[in-house]
Amino acid sequence: VQLQASGGGLVQAGGSLRLSCVASGRTYSSYDMGWFRQAPGKEREFVAAILWSTGIPYYADSVKGRFTISRDNAKNTVYLQMNSLKPEDTAVYYCATEGRLSQQHQMYKYWGQGTQVTVSS
């Protein structure tokens, strides 16, 4: 399975960005897709995850009400709509799959390359 993340950029606080993650390869075996982020000097942390089959989402408390994860099965793509961005959301964002919806990044088998999100104050 290969994952390609995109959509990062520089945005002012309060602004929005939409990240995309396209999956290719042996995607029929994928159960879920997760988004994680890692700021400089910090551990990689869970942001959101979604089941491919049902679309049921899961969120970290820090992003609930601001971020929305969704998927387009026909395009093998998962999106992360990020609204009301804060400077503390600044990080490299990664998509990952085959982690059984775990919030532990070590559980995920396949990773995208990451996309930088920078929120200025």
What are 61-118's pLDDT values in tens digits? 999 999 999 999 899 999 999 999 999 999 999 999 999 889 999 999 999 999 999 9
Which of 68, 63, 60, 75 lies closest to 21, judged by CA?
75
Q: Look-up: residue for tokens 């390359």?
A: 113
Q: Is-contact 31 98, C-beta < 8 A?
A: yes
Q: What is the pLDDT of residue 26?
A: 75
Q: What is the pLDDT of residue 19?
A: 98
What are 12-33's pLDDT values in tens digits? 999 999 999 999 987 665 689 9
Neighbours of 78 (CB within 10 A): 29
CA distances from 4 to 33, 41, 87, 110 (A): 12, 24, 25, 11
The SS3 call for residue 107 is helix
Alpha carbon distance 112, 29 (integer Å): 17
- Helices of type H across the chain: none
The radius of gyration of the chain from alpha carbons, rounded to an integer in Å, stands at 13
Q: What is the pLDDT of residue 28?
A: 63
Tokens of 115: 């996309």
